[in-house]
Structure 1
Amino acid sequence: MKYGPAAVTLQYQFQGLARYDLYPYIGAGMTYLKIFDTTDGSVTDFQARNAWGGVAQVGLEYRVTKHIGVFVDAKKFIVRTSATGNLGPVPVHAAVRLDPLVTQAGIAFRF
């Protein structure tokens, strides 16, 4: 199964370490899981449903200049969906739990 989550989060940046140009943050939001491919070698007529879920986020930004920073963060996705198909002649149904932990690092630009 191939899928991709899209997320929208709101963040709160803490200012307590601003004198060191460090800005830890937390966030929360919604995610939408889009199923792109449901082929499986063992299960025929395999279908999984797109689903909504939640996402939580923690991270840290270091501001190199007033307009440029670098960051690392982790997002925990919490998504539940269902899948159906046939295993030989037997119909099957599964409750699917997709809870990936996504880590990333990047550059932030402020305008």
Structure 2
Amino acid sequence: MTKMIKLSGLTLAISAALTLSAGAQAYQAGDMVMRAGFATVSPNTDSGKLKADGAAVTPATTVDVDSNTQLGLTFTYMLTDHVGLELLAATPFKHTIKVKGGLASLGKLADVEHLPPTLSVQYFPMDSSSVLQPYVGAGLNYTTFFDESFKGDNKTKFRSLELEDSWGIAFQAGVDYMLTDNLGLNAAVWWIDIDTEATFKSADGATKYKVDVELDPWVYMVGMNYKF
């Protein structure tokens, strides 16, 4: 008897979800779609060798950058039933730069924050009446770095850390599932081309350091969408 009650409850829940989504309509020209969720930037770091006054430090030394999760936001304006223009935004991501190789004893070198606004054209292949809306996109990213600061003992060893801003291409894929006419679920992934050059000085300013870094992160976001 208990199993029958549980089964009946599950059946009703599935039926209710299907009923909600059955009446949902997806996107049409002129719609504005906001998506919000947890966004993780996971750098695929490819570091050049750290240089001091133009010469590579020996033993060879490179850097790595960790991942970070923040609130992600996207805003899409539907130009047609199948084509949209999206702006990706977020609260600032904070990453720790770690030293590898010869000077690995420096450990966690510094923290840096960045914002990666990205403008993309999206294509939605499904009919506008479909509650399931996969999409792909491509566009241009601008990443700006700020609040660069050394960590721990490195604050007394170095100064004047700066990271160059970056322009690069971005590709994305995602899917929306409409629960009602206005509300749905979203999952998306981006690959973004981000290259930067980090420069800093010894505490006395006598030595200038430089390292080129390709970050090229994967960005993952899961959350909700709302159609206006």
- Give the aligned partner of residue 99 of structure 2: none
- Give the aligned partner of residue 34 of structure 1: 144
Question: What CA distance in whole angstroms lies between the structure 2 residues aligned with 1:6 and 1:15?
Answer: 27
Match of residue 72, structure 1, among 187, 198, 220: 187
Following superposition, the deviation at residue 87 of structure 1 comes to 4.2
TM, length-normalised to structure 1: 0.83
Confirm or deny that 1:4 pairs with 2:119: no
Structure 2 letter corresponding to 1:6 = P
Alpha-carbon spacing, 1:58–1:46, altered in 2? closer, same or farther (3 Å)? same
SS in 2 for 1:86: strand
Confirm or deny that 1:105 pairs with 2:222: yes
SS in 1 for 2:180: coil
Q: Which stretch shifts more, 80-89 or 68-77? A: 80-89
Match of residue 207, structure 2, among 64, 87, 90: 90
Q: Decide which structure has the larger Cα Rg and report it.
A: 2
Give a deviation string over 1:42-99, Cα, whole Å, max 9, x none: 5322111112122111111112223222110111111112121124643211112122
Q: Which runs of 4+ in 1 moved over 6 A?
A: none
More strand by share: 1
Aligned pairs, how many? 109
SS in 1 for 2:201: strand
SS in 2 for 1:26: strand
Structure 1 letter corresponding to 2:143 = L
Counterparts of 1:32-71 in structure 2, within 5 Å, are 32-40=142-150, 41=154, 42-71=157-186
SS in 1 for 2:149: coil
TM, length-normalised to structure 2: 0.43
Confirm or deny that 1:15 pairs with 2:126: yes
Question: What CA distance in whole angstroms lies between the structure 1 residues aligned with 2:166 and 2:208?
Answer: 22
